[in-house]
Structure formats: C-alpha cells, structure tokens
Amino acid sequence: MSSSEHFDTVVIGGGPGGVTAALRLAGRGLTVAVIEDRLVGGECHYWACNPTKTLIRPIEVLELARAVPGVREVVGSDRVDVKAVFAKRDVIIDHLDDHDIVAGMTEAGIDVVHGRGRLDGERTVVVVEPGGGERRLHAERAVILATGTRPLLPDVEGLESASPWTNRDLATMKRVPGRTIVVGGGVVGVECATILSGLGSTVTLLVRGSSLLRGSEPFAGTRVAAALGDRGVDVRFGTHVTSVERDARGGITASTGDIRLEADEIVVATGRSVNTNGLGLETVGLPGGEYVTVDDHLTAKGVEGEWLYAIGDTTGRALLSHVSQYHAGIVADVVAARAEGTLRDGAELMARDAGRLAQIIFTSPQVVEVGYTEAAARQAGFTVTTRTARYPGGLGELLILRDGFDAEAKLVVDADRDTLLGATFVGPDVADLVQAATVAVVGEVPLSVLRHVIAPHPSLSQVWNPLTAAR
C-alpha cells in the first residue's frame, strides 16, 4: 500500500449528491477526491430518475396528443416508437459511460478515483481499485459519505436465482417484455407499471397491502390504481409472492398462494437498502449496514471532531436525488465555513428538509406531494384543517387544455397559524404545480396571502383558486 495522499475533503460516492458536493467544495478552493465503485453520476443519472422519465415522457405526450382535438385526428398510432424511445434514453444515460462527467470533474480540479472506498479510522479512507491495488487517502477537513442505496430483494423462495429485474434493469432494458409481473405498490412499482404498460407490455401489479402509494394521501393511490386499471394493468391487492421460478426458456412463474402467474419478466420494486455495508463505519464507532444519523449540519452523530458527514440516501432522511443535491450544497458550505472558522449557529447552513420535501410521482395521472399528508401532520401534533377540490368542477376553462381533464387536490393547513403544512395534487401535468406548492409550504405563506396570488388565465395554476378562496 502506498503512503497516504492528502486532500481537504474525500467524498465516498459519486452520485448526484457526491458530485454536487465535490464541485461546490472545489469551487471554494478546497482539494477534493471522489471515490465511486460504479459509474460517476450515480443511480439517478443511469438507472433511475433520468432514464425512467425519458421512457415515460413519450407515453405522456402521446396520451396528451390523443386528448387534444385537432391533434388526435392526425396521430397515426396508439403506441410510441419503442426503438426511438430507447435511443433517446441511451443518449440521456450517456450510453452507460461516465467519461464526460469524469472529464468535467477533473477539469474542475477534482481527483476522481474509481474503486471501492472504506473508512479506516479517523479521517482515513482506503480505496480498493478495480485491478486490486490500494490507495490510502487522508482527509484534512472532512469525509463525506454519499453512498446511496440499492434495490432490496425480499426473501422469497427462488427469487434471487431467477435473476429478477429491478429499477436498474427496467431503466436500461433493450426490449419490452410481452408480459410482466411487477411486485410492489410504492412509487417505483407504479412508475414501472406505467412505463411497461405504456410501451406495450401486459402488466400484472402485485401489492401486499390494500392500496397503492401507502405513504400518500389515500385519494392519490385510489386514482393511480383506477388509471392503471384503465390502461389494462391487472392490479391485485393483498397478494404475497411465495416463490418465483425461471424456466429453461427464460419464462417466469410466480406463485401467490394457490395461484401461479406466468410472465416473460418480473420486476421487483419492494424498497431500498442503504449502501453502508463494508464502508468501515465500525472503525469510527458507528454500526455498519445502517443509515448514518446526522444533525442538521449533516455531521455524523457519535463521531467526535466534526469531520465525518453524510448526505442524501445515506442519512435515511429521504431517498430522493434532489434531496441529495440539496444536502450537498449544505454540507459543502458547512465544511468550507468550518475550514474558514466562520460557521455560525444560524439556520442558513442547516438542512431544513423535515416535513417540507417535494416529490413527483410520474404515473398517468401524475402525483405531486409536498410536505405533510393529513395523517402525518396529525401524528406530528399539529392542529389540522384541510381543503379539497375536484376538477374541472367550476373551472371550465381547464377543458381547453385537453379533453377528459380529471384531477383532485388537497391542502393540509396548520389551523393555529393558517399556513400550509402539505399539498397533494393528482392529475394530468400537475408536476408543473410542484414549485408553487413547495414555496408555499417552505415559506409558510399564510392562506390569507395565498388567496391574493392571482393565477394567470387560462393556465393549470388556476387549480389553486378554489383551494385558497375565502371560506
């Protein structure tokens, strides 16, 4: 093993959060090394958000075209061109090549190391490179853990040996299975079912519980389930997969009690596991294989010296790439401020994500969620009132956007302060509403002010009007 190489900061994990933190720190004049054992750019860029949204966008556009008079009459097919969709997807994921991203980081002065990184005591990281060689890195200021998560395979007889698809396989698929079983009724499961059915697969969605999107407002799961059913997806609730088998011809058989389902592929979307196994956390007094608990400066709790940080999925605070990037900005500023001796106790350099996060679920209809659901707000101890609306309702102008516009929304209001705690929108193109809802929740804008926010006519933003009107 060579002698230690010294950097101000070592980042373990080159996903969205790790890359963003490294660039921010390098821009502040700190020396930075980033360690990544797969492709620099991470899960979101190659195997999750970016490719899956690229796959679903043509489906959305075709559905919109078929809902607009004057356009549907000239649309010649009820299916997208799968070959063209895959070609665009391949461009978006850089053909699974991180050369350009690495080149950009190198140009910014960052040392990119491909290999498996692990802690080896205070401020020390050992990297095992692909060829088996080792490098020993010493972090003068900080080690940032940005190792993310991986798909979780449940303990089901025969599942692992059947080589099931996960989000990674679906995102990079080269063919559309004729028949697909999707296991899981959460965000990834419903998005996979939407994509596959939209690309022509006959989909069976197996859900252990009694509803989809268990952590969302109930109407969101109900509407998505109905829409999937309308698309031909066979949604089966209360279904537990007991065994899976892949036959000699490559076909899949999944057993659910006495029922046997046959398909060409099975996609497992049953959760994520944090990538902290083998990370050397034990060498600094933390348990391996678990989320790293952090304070609001994103400093690891239980480690003295304020040198170890964790961001994004690794913290367990939210498994969302945009949260990883938000954390990256906070942690870069904290590390730089501590290096300069200018860190203050104010809220500016503290992560303020609890109860304020935004998420878009890219199904058809889309789902936008910001902040608390009603149930979560009540559990957190807030005194809650709600406001709901169905559309088009009295908003006939929405009919000009497309035929068959059907949507629903709900606001969760802090009754003591008359401010928004949460918002949920379900309907076509409601992703466009997410930032307005996020600003209202994070900014704690009173309803008495929101009702004077005049939405331009005619626009989707007018769905706010009945929600914020004086009562």
List binding-site positions for NAD(+).
Answer: 184-191, 271
Residue 22 domain-assigned (yes or no): yes
- Our answer to whether residue 95 is catalytic in this structure is no
Are 263 and 288 within one domain? no
- Summarised one tens digit per residue, pLDDT across range 118-130 is 999 999 999 999 9
Are 137 and 178 within one domain? no
Last residue in a domain, options 291, 322, 349: 349
Are 286 and 334 within one domain? yes
Query: Whole-angstrom Cα distance, residue 122 to residue 85?
Result: 48
Are 182 and 262 within one domain? yes
Order of strands, sheet of 366-371, starting from the edge strand that comes earlier in the sequence:
358-361, 366-371, 419-427, 407-414, 384-391
Is the Cβ–Cβ distance between 437 and 358 less than 8 Å? yes
- What pLDDT does 400 receive? 60
Instruction: Point out the catalytic residue in the list 6, 240, 327, 457.
Output: 457
Last residue in a domain, options 212, 236, 270: 270
Residue 58 domain-assigned (yes or no): no
Residue 191 domain-assigned (yes or no): yes
Which amino acid is present at 127? Answer: V
CATH number at residue 406: 3.30.390.30
Residue 132 domain-assigned (yes or no): yes
Are 222 and 333 within one domain? no
Are 427 and 330 within one domain? no
Residue 92 domain-assigned (yes or no): no
Tokens of 77: 């097919």
- Summarised one tens digit per residue, pLDDT across range 21-56 is 999 999 999 999 999 999 999 999 999 999 999 999
CATH number at residue 158: 3.50.50.60
Are 144 and 14 within one domain? yes
Last residue in a domain, options 315, 349, 383: 349
Q: How many domains does the chain divide into?
A: 3
List binding-site positions.
Answer: 53, 117, 184-191, 271, 313
List binding-site positions for FAD.
Answer: 53, 117, 313
SS3 239: coil
- The domain of 332 spans 5-41+98-150+273-349
Rounded (5°) CA angle 86-196-216: 120
- Summarised one tens digit per residue, pLDDT across range 58-89 is 999 999 999 999 999 999 888 999 999 999 99
Rounded to two decimals, what is the model's pTM? 0.94
- Summarised one tens digit per residue, pLDDT across range 138-162 is 999 999 999 999 999 999 999 999 9
Residue 85 domain-assigned (yes or no): no
Are 251 and 277 within one domain? no
Are 290 and 341 within one domain? yes
